[in-house]
């Protein structure tokens, strides 16, 4: 067992001296990272789901993130070696977990059911920071066997660290919902829990109980270790499931989650960059257009064809001539029709195969457009943009390899 002495503000003769088990400190950091990855992966691509399903996944993510904050704290406390036997008050220990889960859950609700404005991102980040900080201090107040003492400087600095890193974690994770942002957000969120904990611990001291004071009934360290081990086991199991989903997720998924206010806010990040700069960053391999029938002889036009979409656990249908565009959303698609975004169980590949041509044309590997809904076509260097009016989507990107075929289809 590797130990190191912790010399904080209260490292003097009046206070109990303590050390840390380096192995358990490393374990706390790992649990924090695993919980962060699990929670952020569970919330990826939720914009395509119905409200009911979205609530379920947000709740699961809140449990993963909040439980990870709690587990990280108490693994770090198990790493703490004091010269007296300590335990934890059951009620305060449970309350500390509830603070973490509820405050993080509120932040996720704001991100997935509210508008992702910069103001809301700051509020959500502050909620995450408050969840980490309140969990820490409520958990510390639950210590039995000695008296924790907190310096005001520690409270302010740990609060500042929690707020800044909480905002950074939400900002990184939700600016662009890509695999890269999930991984970066995992690192920032995971570190935020550990940094807040040890910043607060630097300004925390432990005094002996006065003579004659009885120790209240509490959860002993051995019992706490079993509880934390069980929580870590559940988090790791969830991590394995979410990691497998993450590994199979297309890299362009989740593009709906760009911050609002951009000119191409309804495009995936790569597509928006393509439309702004005129470079085809999402072009098909080798610049070869995906096979898609352009002739009515190859696939008869069926304007009354029914396309399924899900809402509130029911399957409905929309006629394909009501659909303005189709966009990939992970393994599923979003239909832009009837002034709404509708969740369709078909993949973009299946949609391209089943929707009739030449009514529908695949402008991009993530987009199909109803050519009858195109109001204008704008050329942007090697790429282009289809302008659509009076629909919930106002533009569809056209990749470099598809520009020529679309111009021919539109007789341009």
Residue range 249-255: mean pLDDT, rounded: 42
Q: pLDDT tens digits for 6-15? A: 545 554 546 7
Q: Within a 13 Å sphere around the CA of 247, how many CA atoms are in the beta-carbon half?
A: 6
Q: Is 259 helix (H, G, I), strand (E, B) or coil?
A: coil
Query: Using 50, 70 and 90 to split pLDDT, how confident is the model at 48?
Result: low
Res 276 pLDDT > 60: no
pLDDT the model gives residue 222: 66
The number of angstroms, rounded, from the C-alpha of 119 to the middle of its chain's C-alpha atoms is: 18
Pick the more confident residue, 392 or 250: 392
Q: pLDDT tens digits for 333-345? A: 999 998 888 999 9
- Cβ proximity of 213 and 154 under 8 Å: no
Res 124 pLDDT > 90: yes
pLDDT the model gives residue 157: 94
Helices 179-202 & 152-175 angle (0-180, nearest 10): 180
C-alpha 46/C-alpha 54 separation (Å) is: 6
Q: pLDDT tens digits for 348-366? A: 999 999 998 888 999 988 9
Query: Using 50, 70 and 90 to split pLDDT, how confident is the model at 42?
Result: confident
C-alpha 158/C-alpha 312 separation (Å) is: 42
Pick the more confident residue, 299 or 389: 389
CA distances from 131 to 55, 60, 177, 195, 346 (A): 20, 16, 23, 14, 38
Number of neighbours of residue 169 by Cβ within 10 angstroms: 29
Query: Using 50, 70 and 90 to split pLDDT, how confident is the model at 41?
Result: confident
Res 164 pLDDT > 80: yes
User: Which of 11-20, 86-95, 108-117, 159-168 ranks highest by mean pLDDT?
Assistant: 159-168
Query: Using 50, 70 and 90 to split pLDDT, how confident is the model at 181?
Result: confident
């Amino acid at each position: 067992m590797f130990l190191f002495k912790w010399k904080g503000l209260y490292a003097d003769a009046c206070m109990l001296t303590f050390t840390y088990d380096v192995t358990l400190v490393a374990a706390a950091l790992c649990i924090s990272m695993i919980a962060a990855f699990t929670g952020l992966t569970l919330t990826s691509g939720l914009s395509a789901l119905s409200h009911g399903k979205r609530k379920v996944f947000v709740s699961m993510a809140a449990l993963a993130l909040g439980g990870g904050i709690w587990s990280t704290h108490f693994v770090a406390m198990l790493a703490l070696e004091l010269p007296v036997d300590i335990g934890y008050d059951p009620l305060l220990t449970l309350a500390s977990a509830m603070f973490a889960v509820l405050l993080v859950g509120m932040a996720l609700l704001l991100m997935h059911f509210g508008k992702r404005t910069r103001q809301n991102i700051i509020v959500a980040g502050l909620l995450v920071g408050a969840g980490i900080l309140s969990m820490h201090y409520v958990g510390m107040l639950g210590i039995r066997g000695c008296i924790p003492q907190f310096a005001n400087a520690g409270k302010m600095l740990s609060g500042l660290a929690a707020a800044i890193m909480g905002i950074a974690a939400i900002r990184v994770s939700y600016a662009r919902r890509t695999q890269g942002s999930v991984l970066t957000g995992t690192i920032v969120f995971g570190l935020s829990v550990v940094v807040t904990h040890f910043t607060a611990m630097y300004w925390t001291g432990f005094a002996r109980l006065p003579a004659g004071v009885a120790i209240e009934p509490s959860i002993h360290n051995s019992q706490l270790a079993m509880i934390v081990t069980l929580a870590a086991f559940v988090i790791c199991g969830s991590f394995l499931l979410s990691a497998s989903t993450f590994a199979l997720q297309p890299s362009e998924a989740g593009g709906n989650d760009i911050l609002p206010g951009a000119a191409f806010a309804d495009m995936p990040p790569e597509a928006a960059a393509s439309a702004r700069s005129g470079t085809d960053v999402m072009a098909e391999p080798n610049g070869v257009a995906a096979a898609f029938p352009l002739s009515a002889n190859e696939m008869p036009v069926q304007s009354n064809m029914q396309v399924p979409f899900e809402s509130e656990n029911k399957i409905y249908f929309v006629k394909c001539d009501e659909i303005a565009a189709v966009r990939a959303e992970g393994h599923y698609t979003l239909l832009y029709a009837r002034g709404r975004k509708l969740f369709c169980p078909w993949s973009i590949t299946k949609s391209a195969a089943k929707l009739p041509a030449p009514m529908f044309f695949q402008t991009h590997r993530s987009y199909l457009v109803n050519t009858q809904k195109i109001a204008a076509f704008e050329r942007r260097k090697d790429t282009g943009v289809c302008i659509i009016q009076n629909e919930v989507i106002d533009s569809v990107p056209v990749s470099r390899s598809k520009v020529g075929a679309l111009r021919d289809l539109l007789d341009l």
